[in-house]
């Protein structure tokens, strides 16, 4: 039997101030699945995501990536996990800090110890996937917000991850940039986990959706079926745009 790409068992987490953010989360995601993580503010979505590549250690329960339990005390294993699970933050400026686009995308592979030829290939391939190869020598701060978000995706793709996690990928994008990013994400052959309040984007990109509320997964099903249940959405403060038709 093939192990799930991601398997979470009885995951619980509390912050130092005593706030309990997660209560016994169980979740399996198969390789190639595209899953939207929905829920109101404060539900625990960001906390959950931070467990996926070891930013937060599991206090109780476990997180497995490709069948291996994340052990944050094992630095070699943690390095492997962080190359397999790529996280794209909501603000691309949190990920772009080098003088040029190409140097930003090269940063991760260089730190993994790859040679110049391999780094060069990964940079070019990743930028080509997001339609930004021609901007390789440009300073990131000269780009539009949508272009910077695409470069942020490229910095993660350069690590050849098996799981791509995106935090509010459509936020602050104009309609054209939103569509362009959707086309890029659809073209990728990768397991995708998308944290979003943008329900139409979840419907467009993810066949499966989860609702997280008060640190627990309260709903798990087909995105279309979840979004068609207006009472369910209202219960968890989720809203479709007026006039949006499934």
- pTM comes to 0.92
Closest by CA to 157, choosing from 189, 111, 116, 198, is: 189
pLDDT number for residue 161:
94
pLDDT number for residue 22:
95
pLDDT number for residue 211:
97
The CATH code of domain 6-88+155-235 reads 3.40.50.300
pLDDT number for residue 83:
87
pLDDT number for residue 210:
97
Mean pLDDT per 10-residue interval, the chain, length 246 residues: 84 94 95 95 92 90 91 84 91 94 96 93 97 97 95 96 94 94 95 96 97 96 96 95 82
What one-character DSSP code corresponds to residue 241?
P
Q: Chain-centre distance of CA 163, in angstroms?
A: 8
pLDDT number for residue 1:
52
State both tokens at 7: 């398997």
CA 216 → CA 11, 24, 51, distances in Å?
10, 7, 15
Can you give the residue ranges of every domain in the chain?
6-88+155-235
pLDDT number for residue 87:
93
Q: In degrees rounded to 5, what are phi and psi of residue 135?
A: -100, 15
pLDDT number for residue 2:
63
First to last CA, the chain: 35
CA 16 → CA 13, 19, 20, 56, distances in Å?
10, 7, 9, 12
What one-character DSSP code corresponds to residue 57?
-
What one-character DSSP code corresponds to residue 225?
H
pLDDT number for residue 209:
98
């Amino acid at each position: 039997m093939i192990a799930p790409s991601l398997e979470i068992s009885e995951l619980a987490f509390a912050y130092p101030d005593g706030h309990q953010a997660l209560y016994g989360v169980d979740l399996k995601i198969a390789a190639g699945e595209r899953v939207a993580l929905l829920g109101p503010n404060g539900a625990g979505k960001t906390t959950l995501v931070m467990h996926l590549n070891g930013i937060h250690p599991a206090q109780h329960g476990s997180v497995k990536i490709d069948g291996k339990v994340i052990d944050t005390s094992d630095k070699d294993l943690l390095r492997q996990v962080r190359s397999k699970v790529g996280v794209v933050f909501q603000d691309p400026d949190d990920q772009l800090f080098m003088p040029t686009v190409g140097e930003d995308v090269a940063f991760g592979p260089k730190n993994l110890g790859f040679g110049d030829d391999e780094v060069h290939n990964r940079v070019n391939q990743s930028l080509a996937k997001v339609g930004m190869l021609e901007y390789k020598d440009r300073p990131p701060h000269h780009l539009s917000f949508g272009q910077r978000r695409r470069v942020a995706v490229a910095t993660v793709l350069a690590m050849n991850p098996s799981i791509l996690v995106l935090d509010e990928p459509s936020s602050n994008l104009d309609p054209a940039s939103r569509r362009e990013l959707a086309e890029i994400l659809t073209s990728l052959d990768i397991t995708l986990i998308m944290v979003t309040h943008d329900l139409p984007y979840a419907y467009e990109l993810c066949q499966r959706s989860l609702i997280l509320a008060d640190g627990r997964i309260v709903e798990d099903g087909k995105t279309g079926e979840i979004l068609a249940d207006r009472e369910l959405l209202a219960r968890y403060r989720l809203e479709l745009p007026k006039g949006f038709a499934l």
